[in-house]
Structure 1
Amino acid sequence: MSTTETKPRTGARVHVQKLGTSLSNMVMPNIGAFIAWGLITALFIKAGWLTGLFAGLRDPGGWVAKIGGWGDFADGGIVAPMITYLLPILIGSTGGRMVYSTRGAVVGAIATMGVIAGSDVPMFLGAMIMGPLGAWVMKKIDAIWDGKIRPGFEMLVDNFSAGIVGLIMAAFGFFGIGPIVSAFSRGAGHVVDFLVDHDLLPLTSIFIEPAKVLFLNNAINHGVLTPLGTTQALATGKSVLFLLEANPGPGLGILLAYMAFGRGAARASAPGAAIIHFFGGIHEIYFPYVLMKPKLIAATILGGMTGIFINVLFGSGLRAPAAPGSIIAVYAQTATGSFLGVTLSVFGAAAVSFAVASLLLKTDKSDDEGDLVAATASMEALKGKKSSVSAALVGSAGRGPITKIVFACDAGMGSSAMGASVLRKKIQSAGFTDVTVTNQAISNLTDDYGLVVTHQDLTDRARQKTPSATHVSVENFMNAPQYDEIVDLLGSVNGAGAGTSAAEEPTAEEPAHDVLTVESIVLAGAATTRDGAISEAGRLLVACGAVEPSYVHAMHEREASVSTYMGNGLAIPHGTNEAKDSIRRTGISFVRYAEPIDWNGKPAEFVVGIAGAGKDHMALLTKIAGVFLNSEQVARLRDATSAEEIRAVLGNTAG
């Protein structure tokens, strides 16, 4: 099997995402300092909580007066220096350390000091530029004389070179970057003022909410909103900008809607995800739920707009960034007099998001519940790395190596055997030879499998039998995209593909020519409907003596519960698990249709009827799966002019 290399992700979104990640990596380690600044501001400025609490008391010279003195200390002694110097220097130093370790941190801090002195606004953006830039310049200059310094002079050269580079970069920040960033900040501030004055600020949710799901939020939040919000908070004591992205309401509404109107794995995992999102502040936990049903982005947008509108209406805001976006962090940074507005904004956003998402989920006409595994994989692909939090959604967090995989269906014969054979080949090709892949009837499942694959309509039943397993739902058995995701999951859980025992392969217990006879092959089927095709394939099984007539009725019962359409133009109708007593021996029938049969909206050109008494039909099913994954082989089946040619195409196992 040939392998296809995954091309590196390119495009504007990826570059913006990488920028946002870099900005986040500079800000997030220093969030504690932002929180400290916010708490000092909230508690001790003259309009703060403590100073306001004791403002009406009279105790000249006593301890109340000393508490009042904190207001003067905070207003003039610590709040302004922290936001002007400490926070930007911490960011610049962190950015420098990311590029060039300790030397980069030192030079980045010096360069940041220059841009601070050259501006008239808190220089967060400047720090995000000068910190990494100063470290990068230092790294390049060190490379010039690396290994060329005479012994004994290394420390002298290192110290003086860092000082000289720091001096140059500080001057560059003062005269070059500082004025530019100041102008940008003022321009962005004017844009925000315009939006607020014209009641347009809620419209920013049209951009922010989709950006969150695409992991572009860090570039917006840490690159624009946090610097502007901090400047605004310094002047007014609070800023609504801190809540544009951090409001947990829209995501909470999505998860509540899934709890009420979702299905399958999404509904089962939504309560835990809601707790992680709302109280833990990890917003990425709800992104897969939106990716499952992309139309739900409308719910997050409308929820976000509602939250912003309420905050603007009440004039509420936070004193400092709320990171992570937990309701606890939000309340910790809520400004005095803003608690009502902030509370209404969070729960109002959640209510609107819930109402819209509920309507969309309840009126959703699609049959599938949405694939949480695939959506989580999509989220991780957008993010560019695995998510330990989202792993909880698909049951793989904290799980040991997966060594047993079962593909389960109602009867444990056709669809599960076909899907297991395809998945087995992919897993073996990836090098996971210590992972066994079997197929089984759901009624016979035991809770000792690491991963269970089922048709999406059977997942809930399978989960009841194997609650401790990771469950994956599929619709197209032949080439389901989830198979590649399972291989990726094995790579993350088991490590590199390696092993000692081979994955279980089906073996034939009786000759294949007794399983698929020439008499059981029809080149031009007469049926025009799905039910007619099932009956036609069933009658061939009866005619060859493989089953009793009652088995045909069981084939229709099986189809009524779960579709047997495999994908790639193939359907494999077979009886229910209860109908195995009607099977006399293993048999397979093959019917080709010139005009594809409408199989629940999917075109079925080939119908293979199956009656499996044991495992003796598994080898041929494996061959059939391989044939229908090969477009050239499918073309040979389509062009065959005799039953013998059909048997020959099916892996030469029938003769």
Structure 2
Amino acid sequence: MSVREGLSKFGKFLSGMVMPNIGAFIAWGFLTALFIETGWLPNEQFASITGPMLSYLIPILIAAQGGYLTGGDRGRIAGAIAVVGCIAGAPDTTMLMGAMAMGPFAGWVIKMFDRLMEGRTPAGFEMLIDNFSVGILGMLLAMLGYVVIGPVMTTILAVLMGGVQILVQYSLMPLLAIFIEPAKVLFLNNALNHGIFTPIGIAQAEETGRSIMYMLEANPGPGVGVLLAYCFFCRDAKTRQSAPGAIIIHFFGGIHEIYFPYVLMNPKVIIAPIVGNMAAIAWFSLTGAGLTSAASPGSIIAFLSMSPSDMILTNLIGVLIAAGVSFAIAVPLVRSMQVADIDQASQQMREMKGTAEAAVISDTEGGKIVFACDAGMGSSAMGATRFRNRIKAERPDLTVEHSSVDTVPADANIVVCQRVLSERARKSAPSAQIVTIDNFLDDPALDSLYKALTQLSHAAELIETTPAPAPEPVAEDRPSLTITADDIQLGLAPVGREQCIRDSGALLVKRGCVSEPYIDAMVERDRLTSVYIGMGIAIPHGTNEAKEAVEKTGVVLQQYPEGVDFDGERANLVFGIAGRGEEHLEVLANICRILEDEAVLEKMKTTTDKDWVVRVLSGKDA
């Protein structure tokens, strides 16, 4: 793994700890801006809230999130306990950096303990051991934080603060832009902003009520200047027409990544945001400007909201200086470039980011890929099974699982889900790479993911050194699901999409698997995300809320030789699913095996031999 890839992963992990808690930063920032002695509405009583929020609330929230990312819910508790030791061990230092270190470490300790105890916990003592282990380990980690982590982080912060003071003393702060702007384009902005600038900014703001460190990476001006140059002077009409929309997203939405493709299509343009940010930092340093809290995301709205009352105009001028200087330098560079292709540059950016993140998994033995759908029962299970079968020979070290989009495991490295579920996936797994698809079986994004995970050089080493894992034994108390001729209907005439799903539900009701309300839940599930998964197959099933309507696990099949229309795709095989446990996964695994044999799949779409279908779905024939 290269240094850039490592820093990218590090920055992404930091972002996963900080971003879910930005609301706490904003609350503290507004309280500071409004009620401290130099604020908009000075109020001693309300200003007293800012101290506890900064000293206790924010570090505990960050440490808890870090613990969750590495150790799940138990890691969250351990991280919160442990960081209190850091806070107590360094009472004069805001322990943000300590939280970023101790939280994930505590989660990892809990995870290692759970692995050690796996299969060793006596029956009936699970709750006792779970609670006491978190409490005792959390106590020991808090003691470690008091004695070691707190003082060490205080020293590190003091060194960083000293470096900042030197830069300020010798007027060298603008030189930081030489590193900041290229780092942003290389997706290292989170590592810089959340890992370095924000901790220093908090320490400064605690003393003076504001900090210039919050402004270095978040200033939207440099990117706006680049986009304005493309908007007015780019020769390629398509690129020129795309720039105004990008300006709105970047300037008001704070999504700085939107301007990265415009730099990548002509790398010389990076000079513009570098010089623009240097000019802005020089202005901020000269005027003593600063923000009261982190401006995240880096939009003009957040930037001005976090500005003290006496600094709004000054800070706005700094943004305009950055935009103006960046624009002036970018114009000749954009005008002189060859006709650009923004689509190609965007693809280059996606490949840079995606390949770097895929490379992280390739170089991390035992990475986890999670296929997620709304209920985690049907389409994601099939997608995970098929992808696992596809990749296991080249990457036996990888774990491929499936889950509900709202319960993605905390240690997931990559989450594969349908586009409409991507936001829920990001909330569920903030530190994971999200791969969005249209269907779980034959989507081009899955081919790209497979290629990224198998064609990197390290994969060959893993094939040679990592033995293929033995197949997991089937638990003795998990009953096998049998599918019979009564569960199958062949040669059905085409019907509408909703009617098809309702007919599938009606057959599940007839077979005693579900009660009537489950049918409406199947229709609702299709409205949320299509139950068509590709290759002529649909898997209607109910939403999570409908699990109470499931009487027993069952799978039924309805064959439509002429197909049922699903948004322009034809579903010939419709598998209705009702699942209480995991018994239905055996049938889905057999379906995935069928998909590997095109002749068997095509035969199943038109056959009239019900006994043959039963044998195939039972794994007794091919």
Scaled by the length of structure 1, what TM-score is found?
A: 0.54
Deviations 1:94-150 (A, max 9, x none): 011111221010001111111111223111111011001001001111111222222
1:560 maps to none
Kept in 1: contact 2:5–2:356 (CA 8 A): no
1:497 maps to 442
User: Does residue 376 of structure 1 match 2:355?
Assistant: no
CA distance in 1, matches of 2:126, 2:244: 59
Kept in 2: contact 1:130–1:173 (CA 8 A): yes
CA distance in 2, matches of 1:166, 1:498: 44
Kept in 2: contact 1:315–1:338 (CA 8 A): no
CA distance in 2, matches of 1:15, 1:185: 22
- Say if 1:148 and 1:87 are closer, same or farther in 2 by CA, change over 3 A: same
2:110 maps to 138
CA distance in 2, matches of 1:143, 1:229: 39
**Count of paired positions:** 366
CA distance in 2, matches of 1:43, 1:111: 32
Q: Which residues in structure 2 correspond to 1:68-467 (within 5 Å)? A: 71-75=43-47, 77-119=48-90, 120-262=92-234, 263-364=236-337, 366=338, 369-384=339-354
3-state DSSP of counterpart to 2:307: coil
Query: Which residue identity does 2:8 align to in structure 1?
Result: Q
Query: Which residue identity does 1:383 align to in structure 2?
Result: K
CA distance in 2, matches of 1:99, 1:210: 30
Q: Which residues in structure 2 correspond to 1:29-40 (within 5 Å)? A: 29-40=20-31
Q: Which residues in structure 2 correspond to 1:578-593 (within 5 Å)? A: none
CA distance in 1, matches of 2:441, 2:200: 46
Please state how far the C-alpha of 1:264 moved relative to its aligned partner: 2.7
Please state how far the C-alpha of 1:344 moved relative to its aligned partner: 0.8
Please state how far the C-alpha of 1:386 moved relative to its aligned partner: 12
User: Does residue 22 of structure 1 match 2:20?
Assistant: no
C-alpha RMSD over aligned residues: 2.0
3-state DSSP of counterpart to 2:29: helix
Unpaired runs of at least 5, structure 2 = 358-389, 391-434, 445-622
Please state how far the C-alpha of 1:496 moved relative to its aligned partner: 4.7
CA distance in 1, matches of 2:438, 2:342: 18
Query: Which residue identity does 1:223 align to in structure 2?
Result: G
CA distance in 1, matches of 2:443, 2:13: 35
Q: Which has the larger radius of gyration?
A: 1
Kept in 2: contact 1:315–1:341 (CA 8 A): no
- Say if 1:385 and 1:93 are closer, same or farther in 2 by CA, change over 3 A: farther
CA distance in 2, matches of 1:241, 1:36: 19
CA distance in 1, matches of 2:438, 2:170: 52
Deviations 1:502-539 (A, max 9, x none): xxxxxxxxxxxxxxxxxxxxxxxxxxxxxxxxxxxxxx
CA distance in 1, matches of 2:342, 2:227: 13
3-state DSSP of counterpart to 2:49: helix
Kept in 1: contact 2:174–2:282 (CA 8 A): yes
Query: Which residue identity does 1:314 align to in structure 2?
Result: T
3-state DSSP of counterpart to 1:325: coil
CA distance in 2, matches of 1:494, 1:141: 38
Please state how far the C-alpha of 1:259 moved relative to its aligned partner: 0.5
Kept in 2: contact 1:41–1:74 (CA 8 A): no
CA distance in 2, matches of 1:295, 1:86: 44
Please state how far the C-alpha of 1:376 moved relative to its aligned partner: 1.1
Kept in 1: contact 2:272–2:330 (CA 8 A): yes
Please state how far the C-alpha of 1:358 moved relative to its aligned partner: 0.3
CA distance in 2, matches of 1:228, 1:37: 16
CA distance in 2, matches of 1:107, 1:221: 26
CA distance in 2, matches of 1:216, 1:102: 28
Please state how far the C-alpha of 1:89 moved relative to its aligned partner: 0.5
3-state DSSP of counterpart to 2:93: coil
Q: Which residues in structure 2 correspond to 1:558-573 (within 5 Å)? A: none
CA distance in 2, matches of 1:105, 1:282: 29
The farther-off stretch of 201-210 and 146-155 is: 146-155
Please state how far the C-alpha of 1:224 moved relative to its aligned partner: 0.4
Q: Which residues in structure 2 correspond to 1:521-532 (within 5 Å)? A: none
The farther-off stretch of 346-355 and 167-176 is: 167-176
CA distance in 2, matches of 1:171, 1:349: 47
Please state how far the C-alpha of 1:181 moved relative to its aligned partner: 1.0
Please state how far the C-alpha of 1:152 moved relative to its aligned partner: 1.9
Deviations 1:402-431 (A, max 9, x none): xxxxxxxxxxxxxxxxxxxxxxxxxxxx9x
Please state how far the C-alpha of 1:153 moved relative to its aligned partner: 1.2
CA distance in 1, matches of 2:154, 2:437: 45
CA distance in 1, matches of 2:436, 2:285: 48
CA distance in 1, matches of 2:125, 2:322: 63
Query: Which residue identity does 2:325 align to in structure 1?
Result: V
Deviations 1:15-72 (A, max 9, x none): 0110000001100000000000000111112222122xxxxxxxxxxxxxxxxxxx22
CA distance in 2, matches of 1:158, 1:494: 39
CA distance in 1, matches of 2:63, 2:355: 25
CA distance in 1, matches of 2:283, 2:167: 15
Kept in 1: contact 2:40–2:308 (CA 8 A): no
Kept in 2: contact 1:215–1:382 (CA 8 A): no
Query: Which residue identity does 2:276 align to in structure 1?
Result: G
Identity of aligned residues (%): 49
Kept in 2: contact 1:202–1:305 (CA 8 A): yes
- The runs of at least 4 consecutive aligned structure 1 residues that moved more than 4 Å come to 490-496
Kept in 1: contact 2:64–2:80 (CA 8 A): yes
Query: Which residue identity does 2:340 align to in structure 1?
Result: G
Deviations 1:166-197 (A, max 9, x none): 01111111111111111110010011111111
Query: Which residue identity does 2:252 align to in structure 1?
Result: F
2:501 maps to none
CA distance in 1, matches of 2:202, 2:263: 31
Please state how far the C-alpha of 1:341 moved relative to its aligned partner: 1.6
Query: Which residue identity does 2:86 align to in structure 1?
Result: V
Please state how far the C-alpha of 1:491 moved relative to its aligned partner: 9.0
